[in-house]
Amino acid sequence: MGTADAVPGVSGGTIALITGIYDRLIAAITAASPALARRALDGLLGDRDQLREVWTDVDGAFLLALGAGIATAILTVTRALHVALETAPVLTYGFFFGLIGASAVVLRDEFRADSPARIAAAVAGIVLAFVASGRASAALGETALATFLAGAVAVSAMILPGISGSLLLVILGQYERMTEALSLFVDALLASVTGGPTATVVETGVPVVAFLAGGVVGLLTVAHAVRAALAARREATLAFLIGLIVGALRAPVTRVGEEVAAWTATVAGEFAVAAAFGALLVVGVDRLAGGVDLE
């Protein structure tokens, strides 16, 4: 799931479906509540039985093991992707384009344009993602608040099959920045172990902490809101989410345009080859999953 969440277009939720842990994951995440937090606080203040009950209610052992695996994968994959973005941006963004485009294709059965509301929701998603893909980077900036909001949006998406949190970071113009921030933080942390300055750890850790804090809030709020929307207006919500994917296809093209002087035949060819590879990867994952079913 961590590897999938690190690349735009592939959803960690899809991997959860493939491995058969999706229902257990959703149950564990949605078990969190203010009442549960109060019980956990009581447990930390001395009521060990209460603390054990809370640990059981949130399936703590499962979340701990899963979280460790996700964190390990994200730390390694994002470093590789950061290097790829620095050294081969055309190929990397072309790969992302294929991942995103194929994700929309494999979810086509979830979209039924049989009512004005669903069509309007899909168009709204396309327009929102298309506009945001060209302007969000400048609009959000690099403040702690922008990082917090990016974390809230991206992490809340990781539990939805077919919707990638990294894709939303690309739309928001925060993907490259966050992969770099995470790499710098890990480098500073490792350097401090061997005698490096701790001040660097604190400095590079600010955006990472802000992102994680936003992620926690996102899981406890945005994810619940999305699930409520799916329960109330399932088809329209899915149409909107799929529209976001389609509109996001602008993002990798825009990023390549920022990296190269002009779109030449060579650039377009490299982009297309990488996109084809990314598309094949998503189709392969979908076949392995037996087709994404968002029921």
pLDDT (0 to 100) of residue 14: 67
Residue type (1 letter), 267: V
pLDDT single digits (tens) 51-91: 888 899 889 999 999 999 988 988 888 888 888 988 999 99
User: At 162, is the pLDDT very low, low, confident or very high (cuts 50, 70, 90)?
Assistant: low
Which candidate, 249, 239, 247, 236, places its Cα nearest to that of 278?
249
Question: DSSP code of 110?
Answer: G
Mean pLDDT lowest for which of 105-114, 132-141, 155-164, 249-258? 132-141
- The Cα angle at residue 280 between residues 275 and 284, in degrees rounded to 5: 150
The pair of three-digit structure tokens given for residue 119, joined into one six-digit string: 């069509």
Band the pLDDT of 294: cuts 50, 70, 90.
very low
Q: What is the mean pLDDT of residues 143-147?
A: 85
Q: What does the block give as tokens for 65? A: 């093991």
- DSSP code, position 83: H
- Using CA atoms, how far apart are residues 70 and 68, in angstroms rounded to an integer? 6
CA-based Rg of the chain, rounded to a whole angstrom?
20
DSSP-assigned states of every residue in 37-52: HHHHHHHHTT-HHHHH
Q: Alpha-carbon distance 128 to 109, whole Å?
A: 22
| Assessment of whether the complete model's pTM goes beyond 0.75 | no
Mean pLDDT of 157-182: 77
Averaged pLDDT, 216-229 = 76
Q: Mind listing the pLDDT tens digit for each residue in 124-133?
A: 988 988 887 7
